[in-house]
Chain A
Amino acid sequence: MKDMNEGYITPDGRQIGGVLMELKNITLKFGGVTAIENISFDIRDGEIRAIIGPNGAGKSSMLNVISGFYIPTEGEVWFKGYKRGPMKPYEIARLGIARTFQNIALFDGMSVLDNIMTGRLTKMKKGLLAQAGWWWTGAAREEYENRDKVERIIDFLEIQNIRKTPVGRLPYGLKKRVELARALAAEPKILLLDEPMAGMNVEEKEDMCRFILDLNDEFGTTIVLIEHDMGVVMDISDRVVVMDYGKKIGDGAPDEVRNNQAVIDAYLGVAHD
């Protein structure tokens, strides 16, 4: 489509960088079921990349491959110019890939603040003994330095008033926001959002869109998102991958995708005669 390392300029004038992650011929099989079949696409630095498709198309599986939760049966994942070997999920988190979940996966027993602080643990280096000493070993200082960063995210997502509330008590929309905050706390290079707007009303969706655009703008975070709301996807994403039955059927700018016959067929169905 475009030159690999040059990037491109979006219609609204944002400069998108070179390739940050490249997925080459990914195939994922569970026993006899092929969830993803020979899919290749790239994710560029600073863009908002959407993955769409009907239910069961393999979108979430794709996200799980990117986040390293599934290891693809075939194919390669290249990140920052290096081939990524098989890694444990927690090692991938340290590379700078964070995600949110379709069904909220927060730590219910902990406060909002603790949840977000947990997101920062890849940045906190003090070991067990230093933690036991707390005031004398610098663990407290490290904690407060990171708390400062977390407070910025809390400000950014406008959740100051629920800082100390246990997460289990929060309503759904706020939980989604806290989960986003937890992912952001890790200062990721790539942020994967699995249906960030599912089950929200129009107002909450607008808020969420604003947060996604703002954080892309302010922190330069590359975002990969799965979403069912076509209006949202077409509005905020720079490029869209369309999947159906585990195959890629379209890839490009929202307008290109919208007019793609295969995409229209997948969503509206084709007449069988």
Chain B
Amino acid sequence: MFYRESGDFKTSYSEDSQTFPIKFDRLRYYAVLAVAFGIIPLFINDYWANAVAVPFLIYAIAAIGLNILVGYAGQVSLGTGGFMAVGAYAVYKLMTAFPEVSIFIHVILAGLITAAVGVVFGLPSLRIKGFYLAVATLAAQFFLVWLFNKVPWFYNYSASGQINAPERTVFGVFVTGAQTSAMAKYMFCLVMLTLVALVARNLTRGTVGRKWMAIRDMDIAAEIIGVNPLTTKLTAFAVSSFFIGIAGALFFAVYLGAAEVGEAFGIQKSFLILFMVIIGGLGSIFGSFAGAAFLVLLPVFLKNVLVGTLGWPTDLAAHIELMIVGGLIVAFLIAEPHGIAQLWRVAKEKLRLWPFPH
């Protein structure tokens, strides 16, 4: 039998606590990595990169970031769009101020700047919880968008109020700007996503992750066994904002190329990423990927079916598409409130026993 734990004896704690304890899962994971790094870049074209691959990779980074805050630490946030804007404007200012420094470093720095901003807006979480905290983070969203509109220094006094990504290279290959190839965009985002997912997994499997989950599940008990709620909540905000900042930086610099803050990083973005996290599964790294894939791929798929296959007019299809996506989200959440990650978990448990029912 291929999907079994039996016979696969664990003789050390590191083997016992690995991410994929079942051999088949491990091989599948390596296969996915091999396809993502080795095969897709050879065949990717502009349409697939811009419509599917790059947005999926970037949204997955943002969803992992938000999942750490909402799913692991239990602090609801509606400020994701605002924090992505911080990442975008930070990377823009850095790219224009220090053109000789690598874009890779700029993106990481933009993440760190966003982390600092996230900590500041995370301070109310020490006093307020749940929906009230959501409202407080909503203030962050509106404030940050207003700030980037209002202060011309952030967009280098450009006449349009837009920010435009200058051309930058990694190892001599363009990753931002008009000359960028589909493959370069894809690879740059893929590398960032892989790093983010690794770090997120390492953080959530150890002490830091357990502190977050302890605060989420029962904050009073957590405090009594030695969790400092102040530092724990603020690290959750910092790490979450760090990832969201990276996502924002990539979204602007690699994907859009030119952005206007209210349009690119408005409240819709906050909701979109929150939906990804909820549909994917709270408190699951895999769920972040699944949620991002669901909400990125579904509209593309529907559009292809409605316009391409059925031949409907584009405007009608665009509206119907919104309704279908919305309906599917509702139906899906009624069927499985814990998200795609839970479905996946149940499927794996069934598979472990298959073909015997017990």
Contacts and interface: CB of A to CB of B under 8 A. Distances in A.
A234 to B, nearest CB: 29
Contacts of A101: 221
A68 to B, nearest CB: 8
Report, as a range, how many residues of chain A touch the other chain: 35 or more
Given A93-B225, A144-B13, A147-B17, A105 B206 contact: no
B221 A105 contact: yes
B118 to A, nearest CB: 14
Contacts of B228: 88, 90
Interface string B187-211: 0000000000001001101111011
A148 B207 CA distance: 15
B226 A128 contact: no
A182 B226 CA distance: 12
Given A93-B226, A118-B225, A148-B13, A109 B206 contact: no
Nearest to B12: A144
B227 interface: yes
Interface in B53-90: none
B4 interface: no
Contacts of A105: 218, 220-221
B217 A121 contact: no
A69 interface: yes
Nearest to B202: A134
B206 A143 contact: yes
Nearest to A94: B226
Contacts of A182: 225
B224 A67 contact: yes
Interface in A144-180: 144, 147-148
A139 B202 contact: yes
Contact of A89 (B13, B199, B223): B223
Contacts of B218: 105-108
A88 B222 CA distance: 12
Given A107-B213, A134-B202, A139-B202, A128 B224 contact: no
Contacts of B214: 107, 110, 118
Contacts, number: 101
Nearest to B229: A90
B325 to A, nearest CB: 29
A21 to B, nearest CB: 17
A105 B221 CA distance: 6
A108 B283 CA distance: 13
B225 A121 contact: yes
Q: Is the interface of B mostly helix, strand, loop or mixed?
A: helix
Contacts of A90: 223-229
A232 interface: no
Interface residues of B, number: 31
Contacts of B229: 90
A114 B226 CA distance: 15
A147 B217 contact: no
Nearest to A64: B224
Contacts of A228: none
B224 A107 contact: no
B141 interface: no
B235 A128 contact: yes
Contact of A121 (B12, B211, B216, B221): B211
A147 B16 CA distance: 11
Interface in A121-145: 121-122, 124, 126, 128, 131-134, 139-140, 143-144
Contact of A109 (B199, B211, B216): B216
B223 A121 contact: no
A114 B202 contact: no
B239 interface: yes
Contacts of B222: 107, 118
B11 interface: no
A133 B199 CA distance: 7
B15 to A, nearest CB: 10
Contacts of A110: 210, 213-214, 217
A119 interface: yes
Contacts of A114: 210, 213
A137 B190 CA distance: 24
B17 A143 contact: yes
28 contacts: A88-B228, A89-B223, A90-B224, A90-B229, A93-B226, A105-B220, A107-B216, A107-B217, A108-B217, A109-B213, A109-B217, A110-B214, A114-B210, A119-B225, A121-B211, A122-B225, A128-B208, A128-B235, A128-B239, A131-B203, A131-B208, A139-B202, A139-B207, A143-B13, A143-B207, A147-B13, A148-B13, A182-B225
Interface of B: 12-14, 17, 199, 202-203, 205-208, 210-211, 213-214, 216-218, 220-229, 235, 239, 283
Given A88-B228, A118-B211, A118-B222, 4 more contacts: A98-B225, A118-B227, A122-B225, A147-B13
What 10 A-B pairs have minimum CB-CB distances, sorted nearest first?
Answer: A93-B226, A105-B221, A107-B217, A134-B202, A144-B13, A122-B226, A118-B210, A89-B223, A132-B199, A147-B13
